């Protein structure tokens, strides 16, 4: 009887640990509002709300801002700061959120393959500063990201994209795999300045994977007349 009780307790403990792990699914809702000052300069703005699993319970809030410079129709670069507020565990009963501050920089390249296809590549670096929480001390990490994808134009209102983003992170003097994202996106243009994007993303972490469903609303604001 004692042996059975011990095994039962171990199974319950393992189940509890699994329940506390990263959820298998999640939803990200985002708003992007680029403000266009000229054909070269933009003010980048995006905000997001990310859920804990398949519920509406918040797991993370974010706001990213910066300046983008367009060299021409193929090359642009951007950089700025970001603020992330993330639940310190995956438990719904835990109301503690940890703060993360980032500097970010990126370079983007796009090239038309033909009238219907376009190749896009983005290289981004994040300098991540995490404040301490009740379960972790403060720490710093440096992440490097490479994203590449193909965009296909369906018609004047719709396009689809298939992309992959690979990330490596340096933390505690170790440079290791952080995550990989495979993303399929459909974009609908409501008008010249407004579009809606729906995406499915398969995220591979070092020890697990996750399915994310994304909805983005994008509204461009032009201050130079075009």
User: pLDDT at residue 4 above 60?
Assistant: no
Model pLDDT, residue 226: 58
Between CA 187 and CA 198, with CA 61 as vertex, the angle to 5 degrees is 15
pTM for this model (two decimals): 0.88
CATH number given to 2-222: 2.40.160
CA pair distance 125, 158, nearest whole angstrom: 30
Q: Is the dihedral of CA 122, 52, 56, 199 positive or negative?
A: positive
Beta carbons within 10 angstroms of residue 50's beta carbon: 19
Domains of the chain: which residue ranges?
Answer: 2-222
pLDDT given at position 15: 40
Quote the pLDDT of residue 5: 43
CB atoms within 10 A of CB 102: 19
């Amino acid at each position: 009887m004692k042996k059975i009780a011990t095994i039962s307790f171990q199974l319950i403990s393992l189940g509890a640990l699994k329940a506390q792990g990263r959820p298998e699914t999640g939803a990200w809702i985002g708003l992007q509002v680029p403000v266009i000052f000229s054909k070269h300069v933009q003010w980048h703005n995006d905000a997001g709300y990310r859920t804990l699993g398949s519920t509406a319970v918040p797991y993370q809030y974010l706001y990213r801002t910066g300046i983008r410079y367009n060299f021409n129709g193929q090359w642009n670069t951007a950089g700025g700061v970001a603020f992330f507020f993330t639940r310190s565990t995956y438990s719904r009963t835990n109301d503690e959120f940890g703060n993360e501050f980032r500097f970010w920089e990126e370079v983007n390249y796009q090239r038309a393959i033909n009238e219907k296809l376009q190749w896009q590549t983005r290289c981004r670096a994040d300098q991540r500063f995490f404040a301490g929480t009740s379960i972790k001390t403060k720490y710093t990490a440096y992440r490097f990201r490479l994203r590449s994808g193909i965009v296909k134009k369906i018609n004047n209102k719709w396009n689809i994209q298939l992309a992959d983003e690979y990330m490596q992170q340096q933390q505690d003097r170790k440079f290791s795999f952080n995550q990989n994202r495979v993303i399929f996106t459909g974009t609908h243009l409501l008008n010249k300045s407004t579009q809606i994007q729906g995406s499915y993303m398969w995220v591979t972490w070092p020890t697990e994977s996750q399915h994310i469903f994304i909805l983005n609303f994008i509204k461009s604001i032009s201050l130079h007349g075009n």
